[in-house]
Amino acid sequence: MRNSVKNNTEYRAKQQHLGCATQPGSAVFFETVECFLLAAMAYDHFVAICNPLLYSTKMSTQVCALLFSVAYIGGFVNAFSFTISFFSLFFCGPNKVNHFFCDFAPLIELPCCDVSIHAVVPSCSAGFVIVVTVFVIAISYIYILIITLNMCSTEGRHKAFSNCTSHITAVTLFYGTITFIYVMPKPSYSTDQNKVVSVFYMVVIPMLNPLIYSLRNNEIKGALKRELGRKRFS
């Protein structure tokens, strides 16, 4: 009887351990994919504005498939580094995660062993992804800015900037939150701040993205202005 209870307890512990490892791994995978896709969108804007005549060649189906593959391979590699670091941790007895899901930042506070190396590896992995994708985005927009400012037509400059506004907004919101979570040193923020920021990038930003990108549509912008004007004067 005791052996049966012990086996059931160990089985439930293993299941919880596996489930807790799956959550940060999945989150990191999709976040990394989004980083690469945002960089690919920046490159797409660069080609469309700076080399419009070569757009069909530089953004062909093969190139899009390559960018798509790189995004998912990068997501898998980054998630794998987080998962390996998690399984390398040694937990003593039952633990309660001070978070609404098994995020890596609160998990790293629970082990009863030295976590310095285990914390550095995923931070370096996430930092590398962020640096590479931000570099691509920054270079793309520097060229876009140079080309746009040299345009003779005011309408052309306005159109170029308006096409990039939604993407820049999404990049600012997303990169600001994930940098705060995964790159900044742990003592610089509290667990409560971690929870708030995690809710923001896990729930709020995905909900805002459709609205951010749909504001490029003139009909939606007109409907939104009419609705805001109606509420203002009602």
Question: Distance between CA atoms of 170 and 176, rounded to whole angstroms?
Answer: 10
pLDDT in tens, 42-78: 999 899 888 888 888 888 889 999 999 999 999 998 8
CA distances from 181 to 81, 128, 168, 193, 215 (A): 16, 14, 20, 9, 28
Q: Give the distance, in angstroms, between the CA of residue 205 and the centroid of all CA atoms in the same chain.
A: 9
Closest CA to 222 of 23, 230, 57, 18: 230
Give the global pTM: 0.77
Burial classification of residue 233, based on how many CB atoms lie within 10 Å of its CB (0-12 exposed, 13-18 middle, 19 or more buried): exposed
Where along the chain do its domains lie? 2-233
**In the prediction, which pLDDT does 7 show?**
46
> What average pLDDT is seen over the chain?
75
Question: Distance between CA atoms of 38 and 31, rounded to whole angstroms?
Answer: 11
Domain at 2-233: CATH architecture: Up-down Bundle (1.20)
pLDDT in tens, 12-41: 545 556 667 777 778 888 888 989 999 999
Question: Distance between CA atoms of 120 and 105, rounded to whole angstroms?
Answer: 12
Q: Half-sphere exposure of residue 74, counting CA atoms within 13 Å on the CB side?
A: 24
Question: Distance between CA atoms of 20 and 25, rounded to whole angstroms?
Answer: 9
